[in-house]
Structure 1
Amino acid sequence: MTVSAVSSAYGARAAEYIAAFGDIGTAQEKDRTAVLDWARGLEGHVIDVGCGPGQWTHLLSTHGVEVEGIDPTPKFVAAAQQRHPAIRFRIGEAERLGVDNASLGGILAWYSLIHTDPALIDTALAEFARCLRPGGGLAVGFFEGPDLAPFDHTVTRAYYWPLDLLCGRLATHGFTVTTKTRRRAPGVRPHGFITAEMN
């Protein structure tokens, strides 16, 4: 799936997605805590990649993080800006963040790489590495599984990533993994969370 195709798929269901997930209260408390714990150790500007309607961007902002949100779906960017006018939102994508080399203190990629073809994910990870300053932080939320495998997501095809395999990909781009966790529960897709520091 191309970025344009994924954006179109989300644009067609933007209102439904915003109603279901646009409030940060729909996220699990343990996930909100994990992201905030990561963010407290950052210094400098942070980008929320694939920000959707801006719920995670707003959470970070309310805790004193200098953050902006980017998303390839214009309807999400418009909704995010309307809902959170004090925060900057713009159209953008993981593969092209639109910032200078080593200029960021942190990047949050909360379920924003789940639709990226595994053969192409290194493009996004290389861009993250280019944009983060040494010591900058990366946090990635994703669907975790025992095998790298596609599945039929509600919006469009997505992928399960084994925790250690994604950690290995990050290492090839100069990241040191600082935490890695998985969560599995009946009736929900398994969750993975990785934080890493740029060398």
Structure 2
Amino acid sequence: MLRTLALALTLAFTAIPASAQNTERAVFAGGCFWCVESDFDKVGGVISTTSGYIGGQNANPTYENHPGHREAVEIVYDPGRVSYEALLSAFFRSVDPTDGGGQFCDRGHEYSTAVYAVGNAQLAAARNAKSEAAQALGGVQLATEIVPAPQFWPAEEYHQDYYTKNPLRYRYYRSACGRDNRVREVWGSEAMAGIKGS
């Protein structure tokens, strides 16, 4: 009887879906959202990533109409497996935070870097991470904005998981845009720390 009860409890707990687990959200703008999504899908403890728009003037933005919005990625993660601080460290080391005019070949505000903090604890952690990243780069001024997260709007379905749906086009774009080469120039051996297989 006890063995049957133990088995039933084990089955009940293993059947809990990921959505019911203890999860938290992080929102990062790091240039092209296809690339940010691809990078963070490789981080252990990340449950899901969603490409979208944030910080602009209009509701329900689209790729053709997102004035003032940045391309961003909403990350759902398990804080028992990866900390917000570790995600911040990986984020800063996957972008050029010194560039205020965009990222790599993509220019303009919509491609500039930002951390959108979900709550005061994330805001404080993001400010600390920015300071730490600036020191790691020799005390340079970083352009990455740290702000409270407003409404996040998911992008169109064709943008989600673009790197898996269109792998050849994605790899060509990423290489031609110079993302990985520039990140290595900025960060050296620290480039993309914590991100596997970028």
Give the TM bin, normalised by the shorter chain: under 0.3
Instruction: Work out which structure has the larger RCO, using CA pairs closer than 8 Å and 6 or more positions apart in sequence.
Output: 2
Report the structure, 1 or 2, having the larger strand content: 1
Instruction: Select the structure of larger CA radius of gyration.
Output: 2
> Normalising to structure 1: TM-score of the pair?
0.27
Report the structure, 1 or 2, having the larger helix content: 2
